[in-house]
Structures are given as C-alpha cells and as structure tokens.
C-alpha cells in the first residue's frame, strides 16, 4: 500500500512539473511567452540563444529550423520563451556542416512579456556561396500586465495598514466619543456633574486596589518584533513560490542585471541579524534574574544542538519521512533510511543558524561585562560614538580574525582544476578560454564542503544548476557561515 501511495505522489509531481521553456528554467505555467518562428530559408538553419541571467555564457542551440516543405513556401516552429529575464537570439545557417553567422539576424536583448505572442520572421537570400539571413521580430503592442496582481495586493495591504493606524489613533484620542458627544445634547446637560458614561470617570472608578498588586507585563522591543514579523511573512511568501515572480525567488547566481540579490536572498541575513539582537536582550534579562554562567552555557548548548538536529531532520525528509513510516511500515522505513544516509545533506539553513548562534552567544557570554550598555553621565562626548567598539574590543578582534581567515581562504586557497580566487558559478557552459570550470561552482567554498562532508552530503540542486549546468553546491556551507556569524554579531551590537 505504501509503495502505491509513493507511486501516486511521484506521478502527481511529474504532472505538476509539466513542460519547461526552451532554456529549461521553469514550468511553462508562468513566466512564458509564445514565439512563432516563421522561416522562408530553403536550407537548414539553427536558432541559438541564451538567457541574460547566465553571465558570460556561450549561446546554446534551441531548435533546428528546417527548410519549408515543397508544398509550402514557409515553415513554422512554436516555442515557449522565458519572460523573467532578457534573452538574446540569433539564427545561424548551416550548409555542408559549416556555420556562417550573420549579425543581421541577431537579436541582442529582448525581454518577452508574459502570455504574449511574438513572431520571428526569418528570410533567406542566396547568392552563390554567400548566404544572407535577415530577421524581423514582431512584438505585441499591449502592455505587460503580469505585475498587476502583486501591485494590487501591495496596495490593499498598504490601505489596510493605513486604516488600522487611523482606527488606533481614533481610539487612543477618543475621537469617536467626542464626535458622538458633539452630535447629542447630553454633553451640555452633564457637563458640570459628569455623565455616567464619561470615560474619564469610568476609568477612575474602575481602578481597584487589586489592580495595583498585579505584576507588570514583560516589556518587548516592538521594533524587533515588527522586523521579525515582516521577515517571517516574506519567508512564508517566498517558500510558497512568491506568486511566481522572479524577485521573490533566490537569485540564480549573478541575478538580474548581474546584481545577484533578490528579496528572497535578504530573508536569511535579516533573521541572523534579529537573532544577534535577541541574544543580547535574552542574556541580559537572564543575568538580571540571577541565572549563573553555567546555566547560560547549558542553555546555549541545548538550543544549538536542537537547531542543528532539526535541520538534519528536515534534510532527511522531515514530515514526509513520518508519513512514509506510517504508510510503508518500519522495515521499509529502515531500509530506505540506510540508503538515504549515504546521500544525507549535512549543512542547511537551521544548521547555519545553530552555528551562528553558538559562536556569538558564547562570545557574548565569555566576554561581556556588566558595564555594557550602561552610560555614565561623565562620559566624554568623543567617547560615545566609539563606546561599543572599545568596550567590545575582544569580540571585534575575534570577528576581525574570522573575516581575515574567510577572505584568505576564499581568494588564496588553491582549488584543484579551478582558478585561485574564483567565485563564479562555473559549469560546463561557462565561457573561459582553455579553462574547464565544471566543478568550480563557488570556488573555495565548494572545495571545503566536499573535503569535509563529501560531494554526496551537500546540496545537489543549487539555484544555478539549471542555467549554468553545474553540479552539487551548498549555499549553507562551512565557509559561508563566517559572514553569517559576523551579521549575527552586528545584530548583537545594535541592541
């Protein structure tokens, strides 16, 4: 029964995957346009192209353009083109296996609009052995409306936020009560004696001696909670494909316009920054309650182990693993588990959280002093801007050592078969003369992860794999944990 359920799930996933665009970047359900290639070329030609997202990449062959049938004077080809990034196209004639390119039939940068129909007319002129091909791309005149849904959603959220702030201000300033009083005559009658429904009198009368004995509520840093809430909302939105908009998905590598950064790429740095601030606030609160250093150490170690274990559990299948255990039984579960251990991914998002948390929390526990954050009235004015650096000089020295080690390993560690200091995506189609960059994704970062964990225990499907034709690369590897630790430390500094 369990095998049947798994087979149904796999079949369902394959149906959802569907067909891909010509570059194989994503499903044709979203972010695609229709391109009809209409050719009058009486010899075989080839349509070559490349997405602008693939930085410094060679063109790849998209489709053969066959000569039109004898009964017709033109041939047609239907293609699905990517609309997330600009595309460059060119048509190359082929005669006797010799390719002669013509710049007149090259379209350097065309940004297709979603769900629009385009036509590429390929005309051919022959003069002895000189073959001339000209191209004419017909674009639709309508505007690109694919961004309208997200703009409408943002507008609705802004309007709701404005109404909420207006309503909160009205309640706080008692605007509603004042308006109601102005519309009636009861205010004139009860002006001197006070109305039974007067909010001031009710507030005074409602205070009882028992209320004075209540413990004050714990104070929260509202700015930190707001920042955390925004990050969680964006994280959930991104994890559910972000409406299929490219800027709500992780950058392939260099990113649109080679920026290499999208909204999705900001969520993780935001979280580790928030974690750093929370470390400082949490430790200060626990110290004020009298918790000993040994108890704080145990708390830090326990939280680190839990985060790391949860990360490994999620890499092993998480909830789906428990469902499989329920459906297939313990025996098949154990057999599959032994096989999966050979390819279990060790690094991960929660694992990097745990490492960043442990280093910064231990540093704060060991090096912090009771004077941190307490400002003296006689402190010189020149000293105030540098106070955090001077009082935390040990922590800053440790961070500087980590960053120096990070840059030395990144730019000076020899990586077999790769240029020293290379930071690109590598891949088989990367344009580098006389240099093979197939296994050079990430440079030293990937080399260190393979040396520590093995190629089977790092992430097998990086975002750059589809476009750059790369192998395994882990975006949460060991070397990249050092910048995460530093960002966490910066969050601790702004407490």
Instruction: Classify residue 374: in a domain, yes or no.
Output: yes
Q: Which of 47, 89, 55 is nearest to 429 (CA)?
A: 55
Residues 134 and 260 in one domain: no
Instruction: Classify residue 182: in a domain, yes or no.
Output: no
DSSP 22: T
* Six-digit token string for 262: 């999208």
Question: What's the mean pLDDT in 134-154?
Answer: 80
Tell me: the pLDDT tens digits for 229-272?
989 988 888 888 777 787 788 888 876 666 778 888 899 999 99
3 state DSSP class of 61: strand
DSSP 242: G
More confident residue, 18 or 460: 460
Is the predicted pLDDT of residue 424 greater than 70, yes or no? yes
CA dihedral 239, 243, 244, 247 (to 10 degrees): -80
Tell me: the pLDDT tens digits for 71-125?
677 888 899 998 888 899 988 877 644 444 455 678 888 888 888 889 998 887 6
What count of other Cβ atoms lies within 10 Å of the Cβ of residue 227? 16
Domain boundary among 107, 138, 169: 138
Return the HEC string of 151-211.
HHHHHHHHHHHHHHHHHHHHHHCCHHHHHHHHHCCHHHHCCCCCCCCCHHHHHHHHCCHHH
Is the predicted pLDDT of residue 193 greater than 60, yes or no? no
Question: What's the mean pLDDT in 405-413?
Answer: 95
Domain boundary among 138, 171, 200: 138
Residues 349 and 486 in one domain: yes
Instruction: Classify residue 237: in a domain, yes or no.
Output: no
pTM: 0.77
Provide the number of structural domains found in the chain: 2
Give catalytic status of residue 250 as yes or no. Answer: yes
Structural domain for 332, as ranges: 254-493
Instruction: Classify residue 234: in a domain, yes or no.
Output: no
DSSP 25: S
Q: Check residue 362 and give its pLDDT.
A: 94
Contact present, 320 and 448 (Cβ < 8 Å): no
Instruction: Classify residue 363: in a domain, yes or no.
Output: yes
Instruction: Classify residue 168: in a domain, yes or no.
Output: no
Question: What is the CATH number for 44?
Answer: 2.60.40
Domain boundary among 105, 138, 171: 138
Instruction: Classify residue 247: in a domain, yes or no.
Output: no
Task: Determine which of 109-113, 284-288, 337-341, 440-444 has the lowest per-residue pLDDT on average.
Answer: 337-341
* Six-digit token string for 323: 């469902």
Which of 88-97, 209-218, 223-232 has maximum average pLDDT? 223-232
Residues 298 and 424 in one domain: yes
Contacts of 300 (CB under 8 A, 6+ apart): 357, 358, 361, 362, 365
Active-site hit among 131, 250, 457, 469? 250
Q: Check residue 100 and give its pLDDT.
A: 46
Tell me: the pLDDT tens digits for 429-464?
665 666 678 888 999 999 999 999 999 899 988 988
Q: Check residue 204 and give its pLDDT.
A: 45
**Strand ranges inside 44-113, DSSP E:** 45-51, 60-65, 75-82, 87-95, 98-99, 106-110
Strand partners, 138: 119
Instruction: Classify residue 108: in a domain, yes or no.
Output: yes
């Amino acid at each position: 029964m369990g095998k049947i359920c798994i087979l149904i799930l796999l079949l369902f996933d394959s149906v959802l995957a569907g067909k891909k665009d010509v570059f194989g970047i994503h499903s044709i359900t979203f972010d695609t346009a229709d391109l009809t290639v209409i050719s009058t070329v009486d010899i075989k030609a080839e349509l070559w192209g490349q997405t602008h997202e693939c930085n410094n990449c060679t063109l790849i062959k998209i489709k053969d353009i066959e000569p039109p049938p004898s009964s017709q004077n033109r041939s047609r080809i239907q293609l699905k083109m990517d609309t997330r990034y600009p595309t460059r196209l060119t048509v190359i004639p082929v005669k006797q296996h010799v390719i002669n390119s013509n710049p007149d039939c090259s379209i350097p940068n065309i940004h297709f609009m979603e769900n629009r129909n385009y036509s590429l007319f390929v005309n051919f002129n022959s003069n002895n052995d000189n073959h001339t091909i000209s191209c004419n791309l017909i674009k639709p005149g309508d505007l690109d409306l694919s961004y309208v849904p997200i703009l409408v959603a943002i507008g609705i959220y802004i309007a709701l936020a404005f109404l909420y702030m207006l309503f909160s201000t009205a309640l706080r300033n008692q605007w509603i009560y004042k308006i109601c009083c102005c519309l009636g005559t009861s205010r004139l009658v009860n002006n001197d004696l006070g109305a039974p429904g007067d909010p001031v009198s009710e507030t005074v009368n409602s205070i009882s001696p028992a209320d004075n004995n209540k413990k004050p509520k714990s104070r929260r840093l509202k700015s930190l909670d707001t920042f955390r809430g925004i990050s969680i909302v964006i994280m959930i939105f991104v994890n559910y494909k972000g409406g299929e908009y490219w800027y709500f998905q992780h950058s392939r590598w260099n990113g649109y316009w080679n920026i290499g950064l999208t909204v999705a790429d900001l969520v993780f740095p935001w979280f580790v920054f928030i974690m750093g601030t929370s470390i400082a606030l949490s430790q200060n609160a626990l110290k004020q309650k009298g918790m000993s250093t040994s108890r704080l150490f145990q708390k830090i170690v326990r939280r680190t182990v839990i985060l790391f274990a949860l990360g490994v559990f999620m890499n092993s299948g998480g909830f789906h693993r428990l469902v499989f255990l329920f459906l297939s039984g313990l025996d098949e579960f154990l057999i599959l588990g032994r096989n999966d251990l050979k390819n279990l991914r060790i690094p991960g998002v929660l694992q990097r959280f745990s490492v960043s948390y442990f280093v910064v929390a231990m540093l704060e526990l060991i090096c912090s002093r009771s004077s941190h954050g307490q400002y003296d009235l006689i402190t010189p004015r020149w000293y105030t801007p540098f106070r955090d650096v001077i009082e935390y000089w040990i922590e800053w020295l440790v961070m500087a050592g980590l960053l120096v080690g990070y840059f030395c390993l990144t730019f000076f560690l020899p990586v077999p078969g790769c240029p020293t200091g290379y930071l690109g995506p590598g891949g088989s189609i990367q344009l580098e003369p006389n240099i093979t960059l197939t296994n050079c994704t990430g440079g030293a970062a990937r080399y260190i992860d393979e040396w520590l964990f093995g190629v089977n225990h790092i992430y097998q499907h990086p975002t750059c794999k589809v476009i750059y034709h790369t192998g395994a690369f882990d975006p949460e590897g060991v070397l990249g944990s050092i910048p995460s630790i530093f960002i966490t430390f910066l969050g601790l500094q702004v407490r």
